[in-house]
């Protein structure tokens, strides 16, 4: 489906449980596209549902036009004892290909910043990005995010894979 070159008319809102199937589908599409990884349906469904069941873990946002949902984004929380505050981690970002490079992520990020401005214990935002995803890195820099000196290490346990 082709869209006009101008900015799409969309709005950002908190996701609700009825958005779960679409969030699952977008997460699966993002993992396949960025990492060549097929997420197990039952695991990702349970993971998405858990955010709705246990909101202390985080929350989802969606961006939508009058006709369709075009993007999703998850925010999780990390306590920083060094700063006596929470970092909000931006994760599971997916924008449908027809809407990329049209300000959708920017508006979602600004929505996150606006939400954080009303909460006193948010000390910043973090995200991780694939080393080769230069387009995304450029986007984050234009939004005043800075690359950190840290590397990310991970060990995945068999029960969570």
pLDDT on residue 6: 54
Residues in the chain: 161
Question: How would you write the pLDDT of the chain (161 residues) with one tens digit per residue?
Answer: 444 455 568 999 999 999 999 999 999 999 999 889 999 999 999 999 999 999 999 999 999 999 999 999 999 999 999 999 999 999 999 999 999 999 999 999 999 999 999 999 999 999 999 888 898 899 999 999 999 999 889 998 987 55
pLDDT on residue 15: 98
* Strand residues in the chain grouped as ranges (E): 11-14, 58-64, 69-80, 85-95, 122-126
Report whether 112 contacts 125 (CB < 8 A): yes
Domain contains 1: no
Q: Which of 90, 148, 88, 145 is nearest to 122 (CA)?
A: 88
Is this structure's pTM higher than 0.85?
yes
pLDDT on residue 5: 53
Domain contains 130: yes
pLDDT on residue 130: 86
> Within 13 Å, how many C-alpha atoms sit on residue 93's CB side?
21
Domain contains 74: yes
Domain contains 3: no
**The CATH number of the domain where 82 resides is what?**
3.40.630.30
Supply the range of the domain harboring residue 120.
Answer: 11-160
pLDDT on residue 29: 96
Phi, psi of 64 (to 5 degrees): -145, 150
Domain contains 2: no
SS3 content of the chain, % helix, strand, coil (to 5): 40, 25, 35
Domains: count for the chain: 1
Angle at 88 between CA 81 and CA 150, to 5 degrees: 70
Domain contains 48: yes
Domain contains 57: yes
Domain contains 124: yes
């Amino acid at each position: 489906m082709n869209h006009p070159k101008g900015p799409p008319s969309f709005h950002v809102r908190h996701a609700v449980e009825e958005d779960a199937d679409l969030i699952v589908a977008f997460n699966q599409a993002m993992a396949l596209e960025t990492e060549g990884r097929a997420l197990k349906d039952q695991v990702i469904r349970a993971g998405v549902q858990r955010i709705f069941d246990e909101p202390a873990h985080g929350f989802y946002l969606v961006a939508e036009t009058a006709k369709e949902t075009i993007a999703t984004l998850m925010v999780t929380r990390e306590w920083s004892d060094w700063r006596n505050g929470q970092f909000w981690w931006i994760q599971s970002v997916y924008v449908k290909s027809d809407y990329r490079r049209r300000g959708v992520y920017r508006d979602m990020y600004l929505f996150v910043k606006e939400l954080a401005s009303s909460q006193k214990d948010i000390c910043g935002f973090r995200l991780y990005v694939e080393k080769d995803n230069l387009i995304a890195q450029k986007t984050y820099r234009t939004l005043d995010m800075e690359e950190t000196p840290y590397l990310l290490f991970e060990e995945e346990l068999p029960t969570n894979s």
